[in-house]
Amino acid sequence: MGDLEGSRRNIRAVIPSIFTIGNMGFGFFSILASGNSNFVMAAWFIILAILMDMLDGRIARLVRGESSFGIEIDSLSDWLSFGIAPAYLIYGFGLKSYGVWAYPVVFFYVLCGALRLARFNVKAHFRVSEERKKFFQGLPIPGAAGILASFILVYSLIEVQDPARGISWIMNRMPFIYGILPFLIIFLSLLMISSIPYGAFKSGSVFKPKSISFLFFVVAAIFFIVAYPQNSLFLFFFLYVVSGVVMFIFKSLVSVKSRIYPETKEK
């Protein structure tokens, strides 16, 4: 009976690891594609790696296959796919012309990604709480990689002179973002090692699966993704990155206001 239960535990641990390996594989393929200057393919590989990363955690919780080994291999995969691969991609795509000045910028991104994952692992091993299930401390590294990869996908529409496949108010801002890429990378790096809370969306409390708002959101999202795939990805990651900053500023202002104008307690 004990051997049977042990076999079941091993199977539950292996299933999510398959998706983790898929994450690692797509990250490695992205590096190879970037080395061949196929930046669009490299960006899509990172998006696929993000999809694998989303699935492995959910499947691990579904089959109760979470383990210390899974946490470690997942972080190694994340560092390759969302740390090294995006840095190599964005260097080849938009920073190579800066010469050696681009080296510390992309290395800073890789370093902050490693620090972010190390901090997450320590907390995952020693402190599991409801708060951690609802929020991440700092921008998750897939979010940082996602906005860089999706930027390249949108910018590629300009390079092939096919702006009709994009939304004009997003496409018109791509040259500006291209011009501030070094600052964007530094900003994303600092967000990863910050204490700004970002939604984890693990509890499913944002949308109820059977609610009208959930159905409306799903239909709208599917329509938008089918009509404008590159733009929808960029907009999703952009809103996620901005959401943490906006919420942090809002909470800080509320906290300052409460200290300046403390509420008087009724006697």
Beta bridge partners of 197: 137
* Percent with pLDDT over 70 in the chain: 77
pLDDT of residue 4: 45
Q: Is the pLDDT of residue 65 over 70?
A: no
Which tens digits make up the pLDDT trace of 93-141? Answer: 999 999 999 999 999 999 999 999 998 888 776 655 445 567 788 999 9
Distance of CA 8 to the CA centre of its chain: 31
Q: Is the pLDDT of residue 207 over 60?
A: no
pLDDT band at 152 (very low <50, low <70, confident <90, very high): very high
Backbone angles phi, psi at 265, to 5 degrees: -80, 140
Report, as an integer, the average pLDDT of 154-168.
Answer: 74
Rounded Cα distance between 193 and 137, Å, is: 8
pLDDT of residue 77: 93
Rounded Cα distance between 40 and 20, Å, is: 23
Report, as an integer, the average pLDDT of 176-205.
Answer: 86
Q: Does 251 or 191 have the greater pLDDT score?
A: 191
pLDDT of residue 189: 97
Question: What average pLDDT does the structure give for the chain?
Answer: 82
Q: Of 109, 105, 131, nearest to 195 (Cα)?
A: 131
Rounded Cα distance between 54 and 214, Å, is: 19
Which tens digits make up the pLDDT trace of 37-62? Answer: 999 999 999 999 999 998 877 776 67
pLDDT of residue 206: 46
pLDDT band at 2 (very low <50, low <70, confident <90, very high): very low
Q: What is the pTM assigned to this prediction?
A: 0.84
pLDDT of residue 134: 75
- Among all chains, which residue has been given the structure tokens 């943490």? 244
Backbone angles phi, psi at 180, to 5 degrees: -110, 25
pLDDT of residue 112: 96
Q: Which of 68-77, 92-101, 131-140, 168-177 has the highest mean pLDDT?
A: 92-101
Q: Of 102, 149, 100, 132, nearest to 202 (Cα)?
A: 132
Helix (H) or strand (E) holding 80: none
Contact (Cβ atoms closer than 8 angstroms) between residue 75 and residue 125: no
Rounded Cα distance between 186 and 23, Å, is: 24
Please count the CA atoms within 13 angstroms of the CA of 41 that sit on its side-chain side. Answer: 11
Sequence letter at residue 247: M
- Among all chains, which residue has been given the structure tokens 């090294």? 84
pLDDT band at 15 (very low <50, low <70, confident <90, very high): confident
Contact (Cβ atoms closer than 8 angstroms) between residue 86 and residue 144: yes
pLDDT band at 63 (very low <50, low <70, confident <90, very high): low
